[in-house]
Amino acid sequence: MEHYRCPLHRYTFSVTPIRRWVESQCEGRVLNLFAGPTLLQVDEVRNDLDPAMPAEYHLDALDLLETWQGEPFGTILLDPPYALRKSMELYKGNICSPFRRIKDAIPRCLKPGGLVITFGYHSVVMGCSRSFKLEKVALFSHGGAIHDTIASVERFIK
């Protein structure tokens, strides 16, 4: 487990320690399902519901996963709003598909041995029932009464 102290920002990857950490974890071509405004220094395919964001796709994450016809990815990044309230207050009310369905759809777009890197309030997201093994956890502490951000790196072992 790794621990970092850094500020909180609604766009997770705009925080330098978090951006550097996630860039160092990515393998191969990366699908960033909830991209936001920050461009990562990786081979990135970007999706964001907000058409104002710099992204190749502006689709609901589940729709993109279910209709993807391209090559599978080496890494998929999951940094959705962590709660319904956050979606309503901070992201123009954009609400994505149920997260369980998104997680169920990910394996069809991921190479065997690929990674899913998830940011949120939980350390295991994809889980062994979907053929993933937890490899790494990073904790980003924001100070005071602010919830920490937990990042997990899980490998597709199928």
What average pLDDT is seen over the chain? Answer: 91
What's the number of domains the chain is made of?
1
The phi and psi torsions of 120 (rounded to 5 degrees) equal 170, -150
The pLDDT tens digits of the residues spanning 89-112 come to 544 555 555 788 999 999 999 999
- Worst-scoring range by mean pLDDT, 8-17, 47-56, 76-85? 76-85
CATH number at residue 82: 3.40.50.150
User: Which domain range does residue 134 map to?
Assistant: 2-156
Q: Looking at the predicted structure, is the pLDDT value of residue 58 above 50?
A: yes
At 136 the pLDDT is 96
Tell me which of 151 and 94 has the higher pLDDT: 151
Task: Indicate the pLDDT class of residue 143, thresholds 50, 70 and 90.
Answer: very high
Q: Looking at the predicted structure, is the pLDDT value of residue 34 above 50?
A: yes
pTM over 0.75: yes
At 88 the pLDDT is 47
